[in-house]
Amino acid sequence: MTSRRDFLSQPAPENYVAGLGRGATGFTTRSDLGPAREGPTEDQIKAAVAKRSAQLGLTEAKDDDNEDPNRYQDPDNEVGLFAGGIYEKDDEEADRIWKDVDDRMARRRQKQREAREKADLEEYERKNPKIQQQFAGLKRALESVTDEEWASLPDPKDLTGRAKRERQARMQRFYAVPDSVLAAARDSGQFGTTVADDGASTEGNKDGTVTDFAKIGAARDKVLRARLEQESHSSGTATAGSATSIDPKGYLTSLANTQGAEQSIGDVEQFRKMLKSAVDSNPKQASSWVAAARLEIAAGKPVAARSLIAKGCQHCPKSEDIWLENIHLNDNHNAKIIAAQAIQANPRSVKLWVEAMKLENDPRSRKKVIRRALDHNQESEALWKEAVNLEEDVEDARMLLAKATELIPESLDLWLALARLETPANARKVLNKAVKKLPNSHELWIAAARLEEQMGEGQKRPVMKNAVKFLAKQNAMPKREEWIGEAEKCEEEGAVITCSNIIEETLGWGLDEDDDRKEMWMEDAKSSISREKYATARAIYAYALRVFPNSKSLYSAAVDLERNHGTKDDLWRALEKAVEACPHIEVFWLMLAKEKAGEINEARRVLARAFKQNPDNEDIWLAAVKLEADNGFIDQARDLLKTARQNAPTDRVWMRSAAFERQLGDNEAALDLVRDALLLFPAAPKLWMMKGQIYEALGKPAEAREAYGTGVRCVPSSVPMWLLYARLEERSGNVVKARSVLDRARQAVPKSPELWTELVRVERRAGNLGQAKSLMANALQQMPKSGLLWAERILGLEPRTQRKTLLAEAIKKVEDDPVLLVTAARILWAERKLDRAQNWFEKALLLDRDVGDTWAWYYKFLVQHGTEEKRTELVAKCVLNDPRHGEHWQAVAKDPENADKKTEEVLKSVAAGLS
């Protein structure tokens, strides 16, 4: 046997601690308080662990407290390497230098990098093209598809069945289950019997259900008919409010009509529970009772509603609203009783007294109720007003108002009402008393001014002047805008003189000379005109002209006001004032002469006065010529033109002289005048155009071509002359030459929509549709906001199916263009959308009233789809605006054969030639 001891008999190793391997550090119990040994210290434990690790060959454990937190840091990451150092100016300069070096190196590589990225992107797009790019060729091929081929394409089929599922989902309906179905389901499992007409008992089937529905329906109808007959017989003897008359024939119909308006039973029950909870929790809240009663009314239970509101009145006797609701829910007889109870609980409630008064049928009873109300509420303005309204005798009403103003001196309405009922002399006294009681009220002063106007002394007594002084002293002067509002109110009620006095005394209040007074007053006048208060606007202009007596803009605005909204005499007076204040502004002289053109002697006198003030003014000379020519005095007109060429030798006078001879048919004389004028004014484009047109009228295209060619060399910026030149070549059959002329024109005037449009039309008329589209694309690229180009493309180059899409795109790009708006109206007109087309025509007219083509297209539309009244109104507006521009309008209006035509005749001629 061996002498080695067993494991348990061996001595413990040095510093052995039981359970140290599983984390034990030793512990002490009460039994160890004696001679027990202490446990190992922390240093002993660390030493033991280190020794054991060395025996096992493990790495020596390190102290966690001394670990370096940055031991796992990336060696290339130098962030914070010198964080503890001092950052000096040298360091800053070094960083700046290195940053400049980095930026320069990046710029050197930028082009190479961008080229490489672009090549990679192109390679990626080539290998992964978009669906839009894959179908680009097919889309371009759609240009050759005609309208008939497009219309014959079959509709696409729904291969996925998605449309069918959506259609089935739309057709699916869900309905709330009625109570009758629920009741039938509840009773389906019960056994029962029914009583037949003969009194015999009929049992159900074995499962308890009744299957003879015909007999059930007949019995139901019989019972319903009996009840209806009983109700109809009892309605005649029933007391008022306890029963209603029932129409047996219309009863079921009325029920069917009301079922759709009623809420579902579940919602009503839910609301009823909520309101019942609110009433029970706070019975003193009147709004809960009112809501509960209104719910019962909506549910068709007026009896329950009256019961609820009655309980509410008991709990809330001081609430006006709940008493008023109770009165409204009952008939007249019961409402009177309820009103008496309400007033007894609230004797100072004005609303309840007024409601009680309305319940009475005869005026005497109403007066009695109101007087009793006034006994309890002597200072109620509403009750006094009701009492005055009930009085039929003016004297009694005056007495009541006198008493009311004594009791309520601060009521403005009562004072004004009393002043209206008094005689003029007494009314002045009443208003004086009112001003003492209400010194800050400007309404009383306005009433006093209106009183003076009614007495015929509105211009004599300066009431408003005194009012402004008094109110300014009281620091109660209203703002200028409020005074303008009061003036407009006076104008609306017929007090025009008071309106003018208010504006005269208050328009300049609070404004200094540094303020833009003229602009502000013109804006005020325009605002009044927009509200159709023309007398107020007239007074504003009159005051402004007194402050700015030589303002052309103010006189022009005043003349426009009289022309559009005044009489002819008012217009003459305004123009006379304008020519007196501004004698050297020929526009007012011409307006006055034109307005008096019906009386040739008066017009001659006006022009004679104008000659004295403006001796060498060409406009006045030409106006005199037009006056004589329009009245048939040809020789006098020719003599005036000869004198004008001597006294006012301008290109316009020479051109008017040549045009006058053309209108008379003497082209040779006109040509001589044009030749002489071109010697004096070689840079006048209209003279060159007139020379070419005269040669065309004489049948000499070669001379006309020479005139146009010389004209465009002298005045290369004249677009109309280039157009006449190109059209002459096209009419002569020289399309190539016309194209060459327009190319030269585009070089001289690069961004002219008219030239581009004419070039596109030349190609289109020559049959080169592809070239026309290419030119149009180039033109729109240079001038994307040209309405003329868009209109030509939409109507002349694109098929009908694409017009609306292009029109929407054009409207987005072009802000406001009358030609484009007319194009939209024409497209809608072709689609028979007449109301929308008319709206677009009117938008175009509002945008620019000087374009004659818009008036002509609208007139043609009204000829086909409008009324005679509408056409007459349009013609009157056109004559008033006198349009001068437009491609088709100028071609007709400037034709010498149409020189004698009025605006109405030109409008109808242009409309007849449109296509």
Confidence of residue 854 (pLDDT cuts 50, 70, 90): very high
The DSSP H or E segment spanning 857 is helix 852-865
- Strand-pair category, 201-203 with 193-195: antiparallel
Task: Report pLDDT for 249.
Answer: 44
Q: With 80 as the cut, is the pLDDT of residue 891 above it?
A: yes
SS3 193: strand
DSSP string, 296-344: HHHTT-HHHHHHHHHHHHHH-TT-HHHHHHHHHHS-HHHHHHHHHHHHH
Confidence of residue 229 (pLDDT cuts 50, 70, 90): low
Please say whether the beta carbons of 540 and 528 come within 8 A.
Answer: yes
Mean pLDDT, residues 759-774: 90
Helix 552-565 and helix 534-547: axis angle, to 10°?
160
Task: Report pLDDT for 236.
Answer: 43
**pLDDT tens per residue across span 511-536:** 777 668 888 888 988 999 898 888 89
Q: Which of 304, 305, 299 is nearest to 262 (CA)?
A: 299
Return the DSSP state at 159: S
In angstroms, how far is CA 699 from the centroid of its own chain?
57
Confidence of residue 478 (pLDDT cuts 50, 70, 90): confident
Q: Which of 835, 836, 911, 846 is nearest to 877 (CA)?
A: 846
Please say whether the beta carbons of 607 and 637 come within 8 A.
Answer: no
Confidence of residue 443 (pLDDT cuts 50, 70, 90): confident
Please say whether the beta carbons of 738 and 729 come within 8 A.
Answer: yes
Number of H helices, E strands in the chain: 48, 2
**pLDDT tens per residue across span 18-39:** 766 666 665 555 555 555 455 6
Task: Report pLDDT for 63.
Answer: 45
Backbone angles phi and psi of 479, in degrees to 5: -75, 165
Rg, the chain, Cα only? 50
- Distance between CA 423 and CA 432 in Å, rounded? 14
Please state, rounded to an integer, the average pLDDT across all residues of the chain. 79
Please say whether the beta carbons of 376 and 347 come within 8 A.
Answer: yes
**pLDDT tens per residue across span 710-743:** 999 999 999 999 999 999 998 888 889 999 999 9
Model's pTM, two decimal places?
A: 0.54
Confidence of residue 286 (pLDDT cuts 50, 70, 90): confident
SS3 694: helix
Q: With 50 as the cut, is the pLDDT of residue 251 above it?
A: no
For the chain, percent of residues with pLDDT exceeding 90:
7
